[in-house]
Structure 1
Amino acid sequence: MNNSQIHNDYKQQIADYFNRRTNYDQEGDFHPLVAHHLIQCADIQPGQHILDIATGTGLVAIEAAQIVGNSGSVVGVDLSEGMLRRSHSKIAAAGLTNIELKQADIETIQLPDNSFDRIFCCCGIPYISNIPHNLRRWYGFLKPGGIIALTGLAETASIFSNLLIKIATNYGLELPSWSEVTGTQKKCKNLLQTAGFEQIQITDEQFGHYLSLESAQNLWEMFINNPLTHINFVQHFNCEQLNAAQAQYFSHLETLVTKQGIWNDLTLYYMVGHKPIDR
């Protein structure tokens, strides 16, 4: 299998995965809260033009559209047809006419340079390859003086997926990790600086919680079906190896149990950068 085919397979897995997760915005308050906070970070004004990357079910796009009003506009881009179908339904229910949705790959889509006042990417960074390259592309889409607002996970976030990454190394496999690009505030700042952004602000919010051992064990299925894990982990294993990896995962979990349960850190970074006016 060549690199191009692997890349295409991965993108298809992402689309299929999120086609099955169209109710994620109803799974507790996490996603709505993060979307709302990210919007607050970007100081949207009426009449502005917004690009929402990995728009999903439109949490950011809809709230942004309500702020910019009919004199402004929002473009939402996502790979998943199922996500966009739900987003269309929510947009219609809200009576909004200033949102355009595009089913496309944000890594290859062609958009006019200097055309957006704000660009958002909420919870989508882990699924986008070569983040530095794509940030430079998105930098071009922004008007001078425009603002980009992204979220990223800290290196301490999700002890369970980090545990899976460690197990993979025992088999000579390297799973992609968000910690490489957004693992610390310093890495987040460097990421935006390298792309050309200035007046960078990085803030964090903790969404961590305790899980029972049983709940943590049940996460195994979610992880191995996640495209980030599946194409780099599951497809390299036979049934016996996968069962052995699962046993290691369960064994490690038992060492993490406390009276409150197993702590799952979920530190989220809000990354905001400005495109200089004189460039």
Structure 2
Amino acid sequence: MSNADIEISDLTVQFTTPKGQVVTAVQEVEQLIPAQKFISIVGPSGCGKSTLLNVIAGLQKASSGSVRIGDTAVTGPDPSIGMVFQEDSTLPWKTTEENVEFGMRMLGGFSRAERRRRTREMIEMVGLDGFEHVHPANLSGGMRQRVALARTLAQQPSVLLMDEPFAALDQQTRLLLGAEVRRIWNQTQQTVLFVTHDLSEAILMSQQVWVMSYRPGRIIDVIDIDLPDDRDASVVSTHEFNELQNRIWSTLQREAMRGFEAEKEAAA
């Protein structure tokens, strides 16, 4: 797959609970993501954000509908699609350098010289120079996520999917890593889908934000982020930023309350 548009067509995902109940996690999502776009997805807990990302990654099958990247249908995992998860995915017995190189080893197709070159480049790109021979236990949470990002980038995916990768980090570290991811995206021009619960993070990082409804998850609002490309954390104090945040929050609050009421009713 080359760096191409992502087309999500009439996508629905259902699963069956242990009690035999059919639950619709994602319903009739229809979106076109232009190549090299940075999009964040927000929504209440349990709305299907991660499910949608997993289908795009080829890690989960859709019940109906399809995902295409360029002219190719997504039918399973593909090296052109990279994913960074919320959980710490570094291998504790490997150094930073070995962790970053590991993904390329598993994929195959990279010579030893190419693996070494790309490992050095990616470690430098994510700002881990000097930590090449350090094991994860001696790195902070933010640094371990940088290792995971470098490992994924080293595989040269055209599409980068990120499922709440900063959720376990403090706010200051989130802001710093968010700025780093946006800087890297400006360099690589990959197509990025970023799932987050943090509205400020979504607005700061993205060109567009999608808001998902409570289950079954649908895209109920699409907001273009008309802020300067070279924005930094100082933009959060501007009127334009606050207007965007208020628009997203008003929709999200309504859906979160709907979810709260539905879960309270189900538990009664």
TM-score, normalised by the number of residues in structure 1: 0.30
More helix by share: 1
TM-score, normalised by the number of residues in structure 2: 0.30
Structure of greater relative contact order (alpha carbons < 8 Å, 6+ residues apart): 2
